[in-house]
Amino acid sequence: MAHIRPASDILEAMQSKDAGDVSLVTRAYEFARDAHANQIRYSGDPYFLHPAEVGFLLAQIGMDPKTIAAGLLHDCMEDAGVSAAMLEKEFGSEVLLLVRGVTKLGALRYRGLERHVESLRRLFAATAQDLRVLIIKLMDRLHNAKTLEHVPAQKRRRIALETLEIYAPIADRLGMSVAKTELEDASFPYVFPEEYEKTRELIKERKNENEKRLEKAEKDLKRELAEAGIRDFRTESRMKGIYSLFRKLERKDWDLGKIYDILALRLIVPSVADCYSVLGIVHKHWRPVPGKIKDYIAFPKPNGYQSLHTTVYTGDGGALEIQIRTEAMHREAQFGVASHLTYKEVLGHLENGPKGGGLEWIRQFIPARWKRTNIANAGSGTSGRSAPEWVKELAAVH
Ligand code: MN
């Protein structure tokens, strides 16, 4: 039997150590555990294994205590028959609103590609009132996608396809790249089993070569940086997700030799100025591949992603992608919207956008009349607002 994540893991991962927050999350944990007491998952594990894991994932990506509590409680209404009144009495109106939002989202059903765009729009429409609902739902799906092997085959394929078509793109748009990659890679084998095997075989063949190249580049670069007097940095290697690699292989005639970013080297430095200095040092040491230098610091991607990218010839006939960024950019690149610690910050982010770009796409899904009222109210921290008319309209259509 699988191990149920203890409350202590969640509390440890949670950023707040405030006594009230610890008590809220502990109570939510115990409440959900008791509510799901007699239920089991396809795997034969106790059902509570799932919400406990969702709570942990939310804590790990830095979400606030109320969101973590709502994550623990997210299946209580639908699957354990807990009433809204009960949840509100125990955990307050904000947690209730989040749990309700997740429950409503669960009712949206993916109906295959032809309904794709429409489903996506509904998904956003139904949740635009609180981004945290969307983030809980993403972590819910992430855990379900990671445990698909236990689900009956027919249902498994539907869930995997829905994850690839709907959830991973949303994670991507929210800038949550770690979640996006995990969602894709968990679903890939069930949607395209043959392509999955083929891609896996290809990677295996090149694994050693790529790892050696990265290791050597890392060593050389550390020496070059030290010589230039730059000591305050750290390196990290990043393996491209297997699904994302498969997509790229399709575009490159299945020629792995044309793909330079299977493995990438990351350099994380203190300031933006350091990013540009390091880029200079990299290019002084290795010749860059023409057309591969990307300044996402000056020109962030639409989801807010910032970094300098370059691909360099490593002198052994191969090439390697190097990504240079600050610690703050690194956090944002991994967790996206979730890296903004508070809801107010997220709304402020929406309102002002990060420097030079950002989450413009979210605004497209929020009609002006709702945006005005919602964002105007954001500073007061109220969240017991009722859904605006257009959400009700969409819900009625559905
Ligand atoms: Mn769930």
Residue 31 has pLDDT above 50, yes or no: yes
pLDDT band with cut points at 50, 70 and 90 for residue 73: very high
354 CA from centroid of ligand 1 (Å) = 32
Residue 394 has pLDDT above 50, yes or no: no
Which pLDDT does position 28 carry in this prediction?
98
Mean pLDDT for the stretch of residues 299-317: 90
Which pLDDT does position 117 carry in this prediction?
57
Which residues lie closer than 8 Å to 271 by C-beta, 6 or more apart? 326
247 CA from centroid of ligand 1 (Å) = 29
102 CA from centroid of ligand 1 (Å) = 9
Is residue 72 within 8 A of residue 52, CB to CB? The reply is yes
Residue 398 has pLDDT above 80, yes or no: no
Residue 26 has pLDDT above 90, yes or no: yes
Q: Looking at 70-84, 126-140, 297-311, which range is the least confident one?
A: 126-140
Mean pLDDT for the stretch of residues 339-359: 48
Residue 205 has pLDDT above 70, yes or no: yes
Residue 367 has pLDDT above 60, yes or no: no
47 CA from centroid of ligand 1 (Å) = 9
Decide which of 105 and 200 is more confident. 200
260 CA from centroid of ligand 1 (Å) = 38
Q: Looking at 106-110, 249-253, 282-286, 333-337, which range is the least confident one?
A: 106-110
Which pLDDT does position 169 carry in this prediction?
84
Cα dihedral value 216, 218, 224, 226, nearest 10: -130
CA 134 to chain CA centroid, nearest Å: 11
Q: What percent of the chain has pLDDT over 70?
A: 79
**Burial, 145: exposed, middle or buried (Cβ in 10 Å; 0-12, 13-18, 19+)?**
buried
pTM: 0.81
Which pLDDT does position 332 carry in this prediction?
87
Which pLDDT does position 350 carry in this prediction?
52
Residues that are catalytic: 78-79
Report the distance separating Cα 296 and Cα 280, nearest Å: 16
Q: Looking at 35-49, 161-175, 269-283, which range is the least confident one?
A: 161-175
Which residues lie closer than 8 Å to 381 by C-beta, 6 or more apart? 344
Q: What percent of the chain has pLDDT over 90?
A: 57
Residue 291 has pLDDT above 50, yes or no: yes
Residue type, position 390, single letter: W
Q: Token match 């947690």: residue?
A: 95
Residue 100 has pLDDT above 70, yes or no: yes
Q: Which of 206, 224, 204, 228 is nearest to 216 (CA)?
A: 224
190 CA from centroid of ligand 1 (Å) = 20
75 CA from centroid of ligand 1 (Å) = 5
pLDDT band with cut points at 50, 70 and 90 for residue 268: very high
Mean pLDDT for the stretch of residues 196-225: 91
Mean pLDDT for the stretch of residues 172-194: 93
146 CA from centroid of ligand 1 (Å) = 12
Give per-residue pLDDT as tens, 371-393: 333 332 332 333 333 333 333 33
Decide which of 54 and 304 is more confident. 54
278 CA from centroid of ligand 1 (Å) = 44
Mean pLDDT for the stretch of residues 19-45: 95
74 CA from centroid of ligand 1 (Å) = 6
Which residues lie closer than 8 Å to 252 by C-beta, 6 or more apart? 258, 259
Which pLDDT does position 209 carry in this prediction?
85
Report the distance separating Cα 213 and Cα 349, nearest Å: 39
Which pLDDT does position 65 carry in this prediction?
95
Strands 234-239 and 263-269: antiparallel
Decide which of 115 and 229 is more confident. 229
What's the whole-number average pLDDT of the chain?
A: 82
